[in-house]
Structure formats: C-alpha cells, structure tokens
Amino acid sequence: MPQLMLPTTDAPPVIRTDFRNQQAWEAAGAAITAPGEEGYTADVEFIDNPAFANLTAAQLLELLTEEAAGKQRCLFVVDETTLASPEWPVLAIGLRDDHGRTFRVTAAALYSVEANLSIGNMYFFEFADATDADGVFRDFSD
C-alpha cells in the first residue's frame, strides 16, 4: 500500500483536516475565494481528502514530497479552529526559510498572503510578524 503524501499542486494548497461539517467547509472555501476589496482572489487548490482528517501542521509537513515543498512557499489548512469562527482563520504553514512556522490568516486576507508570497513580493515572516494579539493576520493597517 503506498504511503499517503500531499499532492503536488500548481497553486498553494488549502488542505481540509476537519470533516465534521460539509456546509462549513463549503462556506470557508467560498470565503477564501471571494474577491477582496480590490477585486483580487486567492489562487489556491483545495484538497478535500478524508485521509488528512485531524492531522496537525507537523504531520502535514511530514507528508510533503520534495517536489511539493519546492513549488510552494506555504500551505493553508482549514481545521476545526477555522470552521469555528466567522472570520474563517485559516492556518498558514511556512515551507521555505520559515519551514514549519505558523500563523492564522482570515479568509478575507488570504488572497493577499497567497499573492504576495507566490510572486516573491513579501516573505512569510512579514505576515507572521504582522498578526494581531490573537495570532491572526487581518491586514497591515495600524
């Protein structure tokens, strides 16, 4: 039986790890891909596989192939915490210089993180360091 691995994706993956509420998952996905204030949308690839149920950030990192880790700067996780909040705070996990570092980002701000990391305009730590007191990145405003 082949070992479970995260698939290599063309866009940053959004991995579902909480499978208790299909409606909440769909709502989170809609919020993640909704156009932001400037009309931009997140370019992500959703991974909806029950084999990843309840996995932690560390466990997900162990399932990355070299190719998958090399293609992306981070991966996003929709977990129990994400689905329990109206802001949909998605877990972001760094894959390069900030390998394993995490922070949460609201679904509404995810497009900004994804776009800026994908084009190399910003680094993962810049978003992680700009989180609010609750550990969630919302934006760069004061």
Structural domains of the chain in order of their starting residue, each with its CATH number: 13-137 (3.40.50.800)
Query: Residue 104: beta bridge partners?
Result: 91, 136
How many angstroms separate the CA atoms of 65 and 69, rounded?
6
Report which secondary-structure segment, H or E, holds 136. strand 136-137
As a 3-state breakdown, the chain gives helix, strand, coil percent values, each rounded to 5, of 35, 15, 50
**Residues 40-88: tens digit of each pLDDT:** 999 999 999 999 999 999 999 999 988 888 899 999 999 999 999 999 9
pLDDT confidence of 118, banded at 50, 70, 90?
very high
How many angstroms separate the CA atoms of 101 and 26, rounded?
26
3-state secondary structure 2-39: CCCCCCCCCCCEEEECCCCCHHHHHHHHHHHHCCCCCC
Reading the block at residue 101, the tokens are 């570092």
| pTM given for the model | 0.95
